[in-house]
Structure 1
């Protein structure tokens, strides 16, 4: 499988603009997660590598409560910015919540669950602090 371009964002820093693509949907997603203090934010460019979406965003919350709140607020912000109603799955437990916004798929995890599933590694990236 070809490796995806991954852009890690250190915790506490504002997500940088996507260098090759100023995707407005991705910008709303990153800004919303930054506003809600998401941790270990990773953006994976899937364009041309997968048909599921153009970008995948993976982030952690400190608790199930924060993960659920980030997902709900993200859904509200996407709707308010004209991106429709994203599909949100996993809210009752909120260990792993998937937000399908069409061109951007967002995975929100509690840290322990994120470590267990290790999606970054599956997409050719060795964790939030590593490099592709």
Structure 2
């Protein structure tokens, strides 16, 4: 499975848990850390954890390994490492504080096809 397809699957998993402001960044030209960052947020710690669980379940269903999950207990900024794709799931307050989209402003945004079945 190509990374771009995987980004779409992860974004759908986030959307299914009502994640807000889902953004995918193409990191290929700006960082060696990952090919893509996927950034979103939830409004409560419980929702942030549900989004992270949704990503993990989706990866399991698609037979993709999740390498690491950090920050799950605190649920203020959960990082899900899927190898070439790193998902940042924030609590809304932390998202505005850290503002990764601005920090990685040189990265191109990847258009996502959320909620379009068929």
Unaligned runs of 5+ in 1: 1-20, 126-132
- Whether 1:78 aligns to 2:48 is no
- Whether 1:96 aligns to 2:50 is no
Higher relative contact order (CA 8 A, sep 6+): 2
Match in the other structure for 1:120: 101
Aligned equivalents of 1:47 and 1:53: distance in 2?
Answer: 7
Runs of 4+ in 1 over 6 A off after TM superposition: none
TM-score, normalised via structure 1 length: 0.73
- Whether 1:68 aligns to 2:49 is yes
Unaligned runs of 5+ in 2: 107-118
Aligned equivalents of 1:86 and 1:75: distance in 2?
Answer: 10
Match in the other structure for 1:43: 24
SS of alignment partner, residue 82 of structure 1 = coil
- Could you tell me whether the CA contact under 8 Å between 1:98 and 1:108 is conserved in 2? yes
TM-score, normalised via structure 2 length: 0.82
Taking only aligned residues, the RMSD between alpha carbons, in angstroms, comes to 1.6
- State the 1:48 CA deviation: 3.1
Aligned equivalents of 2:3 and 2:9: distance in 1?
Answer: 11
